[in-house]
Amino acid sequence: MKLSLIGMTVATVLSVHITASAAGKDLLLLTAPGCDAKLATRVEQFCAAELNGLAIHVKPMTKGSELAWPELAKKIQGNMGKDDLGAVLLVQRAVSSNLVTIVSNMPVAVVDLADPRKDGTAADETYARWIERETMRAYGLVLGVKICPNPQCAMSNYKVKPESLPALGRNYCPYCKKILLDQLKAKGVIFPEPKRVKKAVK
């Protein structure tokens, strides 16, 4: 399945999510040159929905994505706005099989767009779900969530085998989700209360 089709499908499903940019707190998703725009949109929509509607804005990083770490981390941080809680860069690096890179004293991370299967085909559902999962893990790490032993949690950190990609979980487990929400609230994010629907009186 081509990314154009899967992007349209996911966009249709996730377009109804309500963005809650509470207290001006947002997340940044940077894209390096060559990053597929439809993939970036799909990842942004998926992560925003999973992060309780926290606003994620996508911005191209036209220069500096080829820098080595930690210079790249400084470049990413320089792209952040005053209200950004953290930033994740999508870039093709192929540095290792552990594809999320972070730095302890900066709220930034890198997600490597290299396909772990190394077969040269990136435009399919398995690949897109993999990038969603890695971006969720990157945002979790940036926001203060620790590595999780649950293999179905997006925060798990086991070495990935190509054949295991279809079975990977993309969401946070309940434990990690609670930690994440607590971290966001501590950073000043106030999520809107869910609207209660009044029952019709017969």
CATH superfamily to which 3-186 belongs:
Collagenase (Catalytic Domain) (3.40.390.10)
- Residues 53, 10: Cα–Cα separation, whole Å: 16
pTM, rounded to two decimals: 0.80
CB-CB contact of 156 with 148 (8 Å): yes
Domain ranges of the chain: 3-186
Please tell me what DSSP assigns to residue 100.
E
Q: How many residues does the chain have?
A: 202
Alpha helices in 107-194 (DSSP H): 125-142, 174-186
| pLDDT tens, the chain, 202 aa long | 443 333 333 333 333 344 444 456 899 999 999 899 999 999 999 999 998 888 999 999 988 888 888 889 999 999 999 889 999 999 987 655 456 777 668 899 999 888 877 765 555 888 888 899 999 999 999 999 999 988 889 998 766 666 777 778 899 999 999 999 999 989 888 776 655 556 665 5
